[in-house]
Structure 1
Amino acid sequence: MELSQTGEAYESKKLEKLESENRCFETIEDRSSHNKLKVKNREEKKNSKKHFYEEIIGYLNAKCNKNYKCTTGKTQRCINARLREGNSLDDFTPKVGSAKK
């Protein structure tokens, strides 16, 4: 019975959230422009990450005389892992320089 109540509470909260989101938009056009803005923000974030990958891999390729691709999933995962550790773009350059040796 507790599981049922928990599920009902979850569904109730989910319904309240949907209703509050629907109240935020006066018209369909408002919702459409909001969705377009979300897509634009997502694309900008994606492009900034792409630029970040290109810069790091470009530096790595120049230092090591290699031809790594910045679009490879494995390469991006490795960079993302270092970013989650708290590294910034400036932190990558000395590590790439030491990787050359």
Structure 2
Amino acid sequence: MFREITAEQLDVLLTDNANINLIDVREPDEWEEGHIAQARSIPLSQFQAREHEVHDVPGEVIFICRSGGRSGRVCEYMTSQGYDVINVDGGMLSWKGEVVTGE
């Protein structure tokens, strides 16, 4: 089983400059419409081919998507592979912080 945090808890981690590795699994068009500046994009449709990139950045691995469903599926998969990961419950729909647009 994987852990979950709220968007508010994620905001606190980012504000405190916690050592996190935030990965957004939404598709490129969703990413470009608005994403968290500290996040990296690994779209779900490309995840299997790019799974090796997850740990390219140090820190606690946190996945986010639009509402928490896709990132939850990624968390289930990563947990089954033996990784300790966290899902953002409610995803970007519950994010109240700043977003950046574009690539």
Task: Considering fraction of residues, name the structure with more helix.
Answer: 1
Instruction: Give the structure-2-normalised TM-score.
Output: 0.25
Instruction: Give the structure-1-normalised TM-score.
Output: 0.26
